[in-house]
Structure formats: structure tokens, C-alpha cells
Structure 1
Amino acid sequence: MNASNISADVTDVGDYLKLGACTAVMAQPILADALTTAPSIATQIGIGIFYNLVKYTAPAFIFGILYTTTRTTLNQATLTYGEYLRRQWHALFIPTLWWTTIYLVLMPQLQLGGRYHHWQSFLWHFVNGNAAPHLWYNTMMLQFILLMPLFWAIGRWCQQQPRHGWLVLGLTTVITVLWLWFYDCQIFHGPHMQDWYLVDRLFISFLIFGVLGVLAWVFRASFQRVLSRWWPGLMGAFLLCLTWTNWEFFTYGFPIKLGNAPYYKPSMVLYALIVIGLLAVLCEVQVRQQRPVTRVVHQLAGMAYKAYLANVFWSELLWLSFGRALTIKLSGLGIGVCYVLTWLLSFASAFGIHAAWEWLKRGLNDRSV
């Protein structure tokens, strides 16, 4: 496909994955808060199942970002790495800087690994994702943004010969299997569980999802054909994998600990891939039928990352104001209300801040004329 025919302003699989991931991930901190209220065993089981149900978010986001970025930039011969980074600086890095500062200054109780005590530890928390529970993802995801030339090279190499795609897939699968084995032996309940906890923020932990995002676009016709033919099987595999992840999780006993459901397990990797496939099927069906909802998905997906950055800010305010008290009395209602309000406030703030910034830029440009 010619680069001139590629438009960023169309709905694609990446939009559905980014929005689906953002929507699901907002439940995770609320579920973690709910566990601090000493809920009953039955409530803990419900929380655990729901947590595993939405535990596909980081892989889906990475797959979606690489899919859309590959679609819109792979064959743009005039796009330089510097220009690409300038776009990402405004779209991703600046919001990350602002929200990380907000969490460190206004909500220091959310820090992981202890609070900062001087400017050196402040900067360390700033860059390693410890400023808030969800910011580890930024540290990992931004590595993919910086490494985009590697994924361009993979995509272009695979465009030359379809068999190159199988070689890339095979090598990436081997790397992933070895990485999961290493993580299971050395970190997850292993000898380096405490001192190597930052390892999960390395891009290699999610490499397979980034590579598959690239391959899904390069071989999009085959990707869509396989999904349309095998989606009923994906539904069955979804139920089996969800059962598998829950069985593994509850073998650790009660009270449950969400840390016993990491991304870095074969069951979780397979589950995430299956959910990615199902969301891709949903996208292809709705885009092909030209459903109006696809435009809404595209608009929301454009703000998904900024809403993600804001979600813990709003969930913490909601939890401290009334969420904890409501959850203690009625756990299901408390979780549900906090979740819905967090989603609404996160996206409202993302759209609101964006609109305010555009208005401010227009005002500054008018003054300079």
C-alpha cells in the first residue's frame, strides 16, 4: 500500500486494543483498594476472577500502539526518526512528565518502593515508574517508542519476503519462552523477587506483543483471514485460558494477593493474545459494516493514554472521599461506582485538558500574528 493512502484519521485494530486496554486497566487499582477492606472469601474470589479477566491490558496496549504506528509510519519514506520523536514528545512524553509530577507532589502516598527523601530519589522515582502504581507501564512502553527504528526494520524486512515473518515470529517466541522461564526461576517468588523487581519494566517482557503488532499490519490480509475463520475457537480458548489463570491464582490461597497474577506467565501471555485476537475480530466486523461506533472508538482511543495517566488520580480521590466506606458496606456496588466514575472522570479530564491546551495555543498564535 502506498504511503499516500495511509491516513491516521481512520479506525483500526490498534484503536480497539488501546481503548479496550485503557477501559479494563482502570479496574485494577480499584480492585487492589477493595482488597484492603478485608473482604469475605466470596468477595475475594470475585475480585480475583475480575482481576484476571482484565489482565490483558499492557500487552493489548503495546500490540495496539505498534499496529497503528506501523500502519501510519512504516512506508513514509520522508519521515525521519527526529520528526517521529518530536510527534511522540508532544503526544506521550509531555503528558507523562506532567502526570508523574502530579503524583509525586500531590499524592506521595502512592509511591512504590518507599517515598523520595531528596532530589536524587525524586528523580529516580520519576524515571523508574515508582511515582504511582500504574506508572511502571510508562517506563516500559516508552522504550518501545524509542526503539521504533528496530520495528520499522523488522516490518520492512518482512515486507521483502513473507517467510521472513515466520523467522521473526519463531525467534521472538524463543526469546519470550526463555524470558518467562528466567522470570519464573529468578524473580517470581524466586531469589531476586525483591531486588530485581524493576526487571518487569524492561521492554523485552512485552517484546512478543510489539513484534506481533508489526506483523499483524504487514500481513494484515492473512491476519484478518485467520481471525474471521477461527474466532469461534478463540472464544473457547478464551474460556479455557481464563480458567487456567484463575486456577493458578487461587492455588496461592487466601487472602489473595494480586501480585500472584503477573503478566509473565505462559497462561497470561496466551490469555492476552486470545483477547487481542477477539478485540481485533470485533474491530474488523464493525469497520466492515461501517458502524457509527467505530468513530467513537477512534476518538476515545486518541485520548486513551492520557486518560490512563489520569485514572489513578481520580480513583484515589474517589476512594478516599466515599469509595472505601461504600465498598466496606457493599463491596460490589462500591467497586462498580468507583470504576464507572473513574472512567468518566479520566476521559473527561483527558478531553478537557486537550481542549484547554488547544485553546491556549490558538490564543498565543493569535497574539504573535
Structure 2
Amino acid sequence: MNIKKDTTSPADIGDYMKVFACTAVMMQTVLSLVLSTNPSFNYQTPIGIIYNLVKFTAPAFIFGILYTTTRTTNQNTWKNYGGYMCKQWSALFVPTIWWTLAYLFIFPNVQQVNQYHDLGSFCWHFINGNAAPHLWYNTMMLQFIILMPLFWSLAHWIQKNSKNALWTIGITVVFFVSWLAFYDTQVFHGPHEQSWYLLDRVFLSFIIYGIFGVIAWMYRNKFEIFIKKATPFLIVIFLAVFYWTNRELFSYGYPIKLPNAPYYKPSMTIYALTAIFLIAALAIHHINTRSKALSAFHFLATYAYRAYLSNVFWLQIIWRLGGNNLATINPLLAVIICYLLTWVLSFVSAYSFHIIWSKIKALFHKKRLQQSLE
């Protein structure tokens, strides 16, 4: 198997992961906000079920990012790290910085755990992902971006021999099961629930999805064969584990508390992996049939991360303009309307800001060019 780039399709499996994950994670945000109004138990039940349904987002994002990044950069080594980080700085770090500042200054009420009170706590919230309910993911995801040379080395190693890939899968599974056991006993309702909560955004908590993303690309032909053969079984597993996750969540009783449905449980891990494989099945089908949807998914994937960054910002505005009142009247209707408006505003703003920034850069470039010619 060679390790050259593949640019034959306008979209890849990673694009599908990003779009599905971004679309689903916005629903998580809306559900959490509506649930904070303490609706009746009759409404809390569907909210909990829907929340579990879309609880695959962070794993799918990581799988998709590592899949696509491996596809486009797997031939890289440490010599390419500088150029790689320059591209990632403008694509990921800069938007993260601006949106984190926006949350801290414009909507400081959305901070998690506690509020900043001085420069030190401001900087700590800026870094640790507590500036907004969804920014913990950025803190975790950017670790994968920074550590990408390790995944390049992994790609080169598993490409040498398929046995290396099998060893990698086995070791990863054993490690991750051990990590889940540790998290379950020590952090999740454990003795260090408050003091070690930041472990949920350490890259090790999502390492299985990143490694599987690398392997899926490096052995894409075998991965495709596996997905095609396993799809019927994956659907059955998906439904069974979905029932399992709901049974776990509702076993804690009412009122429903969404933190009781964390990613770091065997049930959620199996659910996330199954959802990832089913999304991959759809992507593979579209790629093989050259579906017209490929271009749409690629376009949305381009702006998915920036849309994700902004979704809580727009939801806060929607909430203040009437979403909170609607939630007290009909929580499920509030979920639907707030979600649709948030999704549209998030993607429209991501695209619009990109166009505006591109024109500003072009204008500065033109002025510099004129000055150099004078």
C-alpha cells in the first residue's frame, strides 16, 4: 500500500464525520439549555433520549480529523512540522482564540465550573476550555493537532506490515478499556470527580478514535470491505447499545442530569464507534456512487469547525430573544426552533466571516504590492 495523497473525491469519510458531528453537537447544546429550565419529567424523557442519540460527536470529530489529516499529510515527517503548524494555526488556532475571547468578554455567563476573577483565572479559562460549555473539545482536539507527528510515525509504521496495524488495534483497545475503568472508578462519581475533571479533555480520553482514524485511512481498502460486510450487524449493535445507554442514563432517576451520560463509559465508546462506522458506510456509498451529496458535505465540512465554535454564541442570542420563553411553554418546540436557527446562523456566519476575512487579506496584499512597486 502506498502512502500518497488521494484527491480523487471532493469529500472523504472525514468530511462526513465533521458534518455529522457538528450538526449533532449543536443539538447537545440546545438540549442542555432547555433542560436547565427544569421542564416536566414528560419532556425530560425525550430530551434524554435525543441527547444519547447524538452522543457520538467528539469521537466522530476526532476520527474524522485524524482520517483526513492522515490522508493529506501521512507522508510528512518532523521536517514538515513547521509548515503543517502554520496551516493549522490559521485554520484552527486563530478561530479558536477569537471565539474564546468572544465568549469570555461578551457572554461570561456561559463559563463552566466557575467564573474568572483576575488575569490568572482569565488565562486559565482561556486555555482549559471552561470559557463556554463546548470549548473543552477544542482543548482536547488541539492536542491531537500538536501531536500529529506521532500519528505520522504511527502511519509509517503500520504501513510497513498489516500485523503492525493489528498490534496497534489490540494495544489501543486494551489501553482504552483500562483508561475507562480508571475513569469510572476514580473520576465519574468517584473520589476525584471534582479535582480531576479536566481528564475529560486530555487527548488520551479520545485516543482510540484518533488511532482508528489513522488506521482507517492507511488501510482504507480493507476498512471499506469491513464496513460493507458489517453494516447490517452495525445497525443491530447501534440499536442495542442505544438502548443500553438510555437504560444507564435513566437508571439515575429524575430529574435527568446529562453529565450522567459521559463519553467515558464502555457503552458510550461502543455506541460512538458504531455510529462512526455507520457514518463511514454512508460516506463510502456516496463516494462509490459519486453522489451529488459529496460536494455539499465537503462544503459544509470546510466550515464545520468554525460553525461549531460559534454555535453557543448564536444560541445565547436566540435564547435571549425568545427561546427561553418558548422553552417554558413547549420545551420540545423550543428545542426544534432553537436548534434550526442555531445551525443556520452558525454555518452562515462561518461562511460569511471567511469571505469577509479573505477580502480583507486580499486588500492588504494589494496595498503591500502597490507599495513595493512605488
Q: Scaled by the length of structure 1, what TM-score is found? A: 0.98
Deviates more, 1:288-297 or 1:261-270: 288-297
Say if 1:253 and 1:77 are closer, same or farther in 2 by CA, change over 3 A: closer
Task: Report the counterpart of residue 25 of structure 1 in structure 2.
Answer: 25
Shift of 1:329: 0.8
Question: Partners in 1 of 2:316 and 2:45 — Cα distance?
Answer: 23
**Any residues of structure 2 matched to 1:260-271 within 5 Å, and which?**
260-271=260-271
Deviations 1:75-129 (A, max 9, x none): 2579600100001000000000000000000000011121111111100000000
In structure 1, what residue type is equivalent to 2:329?
K
**Alignment-derived partner of residue 342 in structure 1:** 342
Q: Equivalences for 1:145-164 in 2 at 5 Å? A: 145-164=145-164
For each residue in 1:34-68, what CA deviation from the matched residue of structure 2 results, as whole angstroms up to 9, or x when unmatched? 11222111211100000000000000000000000
Q: Note the C-alpha offset of 1:332.
A: 1.4
Partner deviation per Cα, 1:196-255 (whole Å, 9 max, x = no partner): 111111000000000000000011111000111110111111100100000000000000
Name stretches of at least 5 consecutive residues in structure 2 with no aligned partner.
370-374
1:294 corresponds in structure 2 to 294
SS in 2 for 1:11: coil
Question: Residue 372 of structure 2 aligns with which residue?
Answer: none
Q: Does 1:249 align with 2:249?
A: yes
Partner of 2:180: 180
- The secondary structure found in structure 2 opposite 1:23 is helix
Aligned: 1:194 with 2:194: yes
* SS of match in other structure, 1:55: coil
- Report the CA distance between 1:172 and its aligned residue: 0.7
Q: Identify the residue that residue 16 of structure 1 maps to in structure 2.
A: 16
Following the alignment from structure 1 to structure 2, what is the Cα–Cα distance between the partners of residues 103 and 299?
A: 26
Q: 1:307 — aligned with what?
A: 307
Hey, what's the Cα distance between the residues in 2 that align with 1:132 and 1:37? 18
Is 2:77–2:153's contact at 8 Å kept on the other side of the alignment? no
Cα distance change of structure 1 residues 34 and 250 upon mapping to structure 2, 3 Å threshold:
same
How much does 1:7 deviate? 3.0
Aligned counterparts, 1:202-281, within 5 A: 202-281=202-281
Q: Mean Cα displacement is larger for which, 229-238 or 92-101?
A: 229-238
Deviation at 1:10, TM superposition (A): 2.6
Q: Which residue of 1 aligns with 2:42?
A: 42
User: 1:31-70 residue pairs with structure 2 within 5 A?
Assistant: 31-70=31-70
* CA–CA separation in structure 1 for the residues paired with 2:40 and 2:249: 17
Equivalent residue number for residue 93 of structure 1: 93
Q: Distance in 2 between matches of 1:194 and 1:112?
A: 13
Q: Residue 9 of structure 1: CA displacement?
A: 7.2
AA aligned opposite 2:357 = W
Aligned to 2:353: 353
Corresponding letter in the other structure for 2:232: P
State percent identity of aligned pairs. 51
Please say if residues 3 and 76 of structure 1, whose CA atoms lie closer than 8 Å, have aligned partners that are also in contact.
no
Higher alpha-carbon deviation: 31-40 or 147-156: 31-40
CA separation of 1:119/1:343 partners in 2, compared to 1, >3 Å: closer, same or farther? same
Aligned equivalents of 1:76 and 1:152: distance in 2? 7
Output the amino acid matched with 2:352: G
Note if contact 2:100-2:126 (Cα within 8 Å) is conserved in structure 1: yes
Alpha-carbon distance in structure 2 between the residues aligned to 1:32 and 1:196? 22
Which deviates further from its counterpart, 286-295 or 11-20? 286-295
CA contact (8 A) 2:26 2:342 kept: yes
1:305 is paired with a residue whose SS is helix
Relative to the length of structure 2, the TM-score reads 0.96
Show the counterpart of 1:165: 165
Counterpart of 2:133 in structure 1 is 133
Residue pair 2:116, 2:122 contacting (<8 A) in 1 also: yes
Q: Retained in 1: the 8 A contact 2:140–2:202?
A: yes
Partner SS state of residue 303, structure 1 = helix
1:96·1:309 contact (CA, 8 Å) conserved in 2? yes
Structure 2 residue aligned with 1:114: 114
Aligned CA distance change for structure 1 residues 221 and 11 (closer, same or farther; 3 Å)? same
Counterpart-to-counterpart distance in 2, 1:266 and 1:24: 21
- Counterpart CA distance in 1 for 2:76 and 2:298 is 22
Distance 2:51 2:41 in 1: 15
Q: Secondary structure at the match of 2:269?
A: helix
